[in-house]
Amino acid sequence: MLGQTPEEAFATPGIERDVLTNWERFLSGSGNARQEVVRSAITDSWQRCQQSAVDYRRDQAPMPIRDDRLQRLLDKRCRLVQAGASTMALARDYMLETGTVMVLTDVDGLVLRLEGDTKLALRDAVEKTHLLPGSNWSETTCGTNAIGTALQTGQPIQVHATEHFCSGIHRWTCSASVIRDPIDGAVIGAIDISGLSSSYGRPALALAISAAARIEAQLLQIELDARYRLLDRCFWMLPPSDRHHAVLFDSAGRPFKASGEMAQIMRDLGAPGGQSGFPQLGRVDEPMSSRPAWIKEEWLKSVIHQGEHLGTVMVAPKPASSRLPALTRGETQAFANTIYASPRMHDVVETCRRVGKSTAPVLLLGETGVGKEVFAHGIHAASPRRDGPFVAVNCGCASRELLASELFGYVDGAFTGARRGGLAGKIEAAARGTLFLDEIGELPLDLQPILLRALENGEISRIGETAVRKVDFRLIAATNRDLQAEVEAKRFRKDLYYRLAVVPVAIPPLRERCDDIPLLVAHFVAQAASRYGLADRRFAPETLVQLRRHDWPGNVRELRNLVESLMLTATGEAIEPSDLPESIRGTGQSATRTLDLSLAESSERDLIARTLRACNGNVTATAAALGLAKSTVYAKLHRYNIGVQPSPVKP
């Protein structure tokens, strides 16, 4: 089935009698089904059913599991059910007159939810066939059917009428697509559109595929949210990395973050050679037959918040032989103060880490407050000059004369007020280290050739002297200006620009990496608690959603100041949206954003807006009605630009 083309997934109506004739010949053993009549996907399934001794006379699935057993199944598959909630809610509203139902199953073919047309004839057929929550529609149980065959092959499939292996199900038509784990691609369930044969429609398979993709996107969001919450709860409690290894595992036991390279951690902990990657673990509070012997149980701690298993933390002591000397440890800890999780920031950090090993000039580009000096410190710590001085100068905070003397120094008597004996400048002070020039775009035009000479020839002269002094420094410059535009306007020298921009690095503003906001908030909360002796506080999920909607013109600096202010002024244990200043609560990109939505997204927006109105603007009640987490509803309100206002009370 790996070579299946999209066209082979669709059934062909109108040939049911010919397919039935081939099915009868197949069962009688008088010959194989004719390929020009019956698709290979169907004949392959018939053969698997025959090998599994499926009863071809079956007319229904086994009795569904009920009550406690069904609830335990739903609890076990809670994330899949949660991810499918909004899609199933749409099916409930928009499939009423279609003669079909939408079915969500787990990887074993067990039905978790069913929504759609509730007309009496279809409802009776559904109940008689046991297409109900808790019933098993795997291929080995019910023969060839869209749910079981899709799960068996991992491919989308339509099964129409007489293509079913079991005769009692010939009056049905169904279209299914598998749902894959968005992290590792494993099949975890299926979504199916089923109805009586007269309801056949080719678009049903496209709808199933689209619904599966939608659920996978929801699963990814749920998983990322759980990982953020896991990081939030344990990231700042991890011990120093120079003495311990730390690895975080998600709720499925997959490793996703570590204090160092996974391969090195495995070697240090005594893993046998030849393993391709860090092993996946089970939950600490469940039997852990998958845990390898070299991972000790006492190293593992399950993280549970409000009854939800978020993941597992492993903290293992490093062997004494692997503890890093001070020099190597300094290189490893470069960018340790850079908080991020977004792929874009990861790329920026890795670029800086690589160029840090050279002595080439680096030009950091970014808006005010994005953390350019933090990156400069990281590049210095990653460089061979890490043991030398790091000297910072802001080119926009002094007059031309003061900046010249600060950068290049001066000799005795160079000007009125000059210090007796003269003074070395910051360039000389950065010898065998790093000079960081912030706001380089503010450097006066007549000082620019002097800096260029220092970069090109390694020579400067102090103010008031004719002798040349050799200097040895690495330059990192930063600006929030468009230096190319400044060059075109002749406010910045072209030759200096090209010398500075050997390695330009653009640091994204906070609004373009809003997924990092929960991590940054947790970091600033810990900082403020330590600095001011405050109790630990948490930001409510709704507050984090509100923060993600803000434009952050002041970037990370603005967020840090806001968190410190709220830590000092808010009164509750949790910081709620009402604690935020009006400038945060009342603005954001969403207010004027133009939406470009697909048909499915428009339907979802209408459903959420209608439910919100029915719940009188209560987001908690809306989330419960839709079967979604409250944080997910807030995110969708932002996504679809839906205002949260109570409906007017009727007299």
Mean pLDDT, 10 residues at a time, the chain of 651 residues: 71 93 90 79 95 95 94 93 93 87 97 91 92 96 97 96 96 96 91 94 92 92 84 66 81 84 84 75 54 85 82 84 47 68 85 88 92 90 88 86 88 73 86 92 92 91 88 93 90 92 91 87 86 83 87 89 88 87 63 46 69 76 74 76 53 33
333 DSSP 8-state letter: T
Distance CA 99, CA 94 (A): 11
> Which class is 594-639 in CATH?
mainly alpha
Architecture of domain 6-223: 2-Layer Sandwich (3.30)
The whole-number pLDDT of residue 298 equals: 85
Angle between helices 372-381 and 343-356 (to 10 degrees): 40
Distance CA 592, CA 643 (A): 12
Question: 109: helix, coil or strand?
Answer: coil
Contact 581, 615 (CB under 8 A): no
* Residue 623 one-letter amino acid: A
Phi, psi of 308 (to 5 degrees): -100, 130
Considering only the C-alpha atoms of the chain, give the largest distance between any 2 of them, rounded to a whole number of Å. 112
Helical (H) or strand (E) element with 296: none
Contact 432, 485 (CB under 8 A): no
Question: 347: helix, coil or strand?
Answer: helix
The whole-number pLDDT of residue 29 equals: 85
The whole-number pLDDT of residue 73 equals: 95
* Residue 97 one-letter amino acid: E
Architecture of domain 511-590: Orthogonal Bundle (1.10)
Q: Kindly report, as residue ranges, where domains of CATH 3.40.50.300 are found in the chain.
A: 329-508
Q: Where are the alpha helices (DSSP H) in 576-640?
A: 582-585, 599-614, 619-626, 630-639
- Give me the DSSP letters along 6-46: GGGGS--TT-HHHHHHHHHHHHHTS-PPPTTTS-HHHHHHH
Q: Kindly report, as residue ranges, where domains of CATH 1.10.8.60 are found in the chain.
A: 511-590
For 627, residues 6+ apart whose C-beta sits below 8 A from its C-beta are 81, 82, 85, 86, 88, 89
Helical (H) or strand (E) element with 301: strand 300-305
Give me the CATH topology for the region 329-508: Rossmann fold (3.40.50)
Query: Tokens in use for 235?
Result: 């990231």
Query: Tokens in use for 14?
Result: 């109108």
The whole-number pLDDT of residue 1 equals: 43
Distance CA 581, CA 547 (A): 11
* Residue 575 one-letter amino acid: I
Distance CA 396, CA 27 (A): 86
Q: Are strands 538-539 and 574-575 parallel, antiparallel or unpaired?
A: parallel
Q: Kindly report, as residue ranges, where domains of CATH 3.30.450.40 are found in the chain.
A: 6-223
Question: 614: helix, coil or strand?
Answer: helix
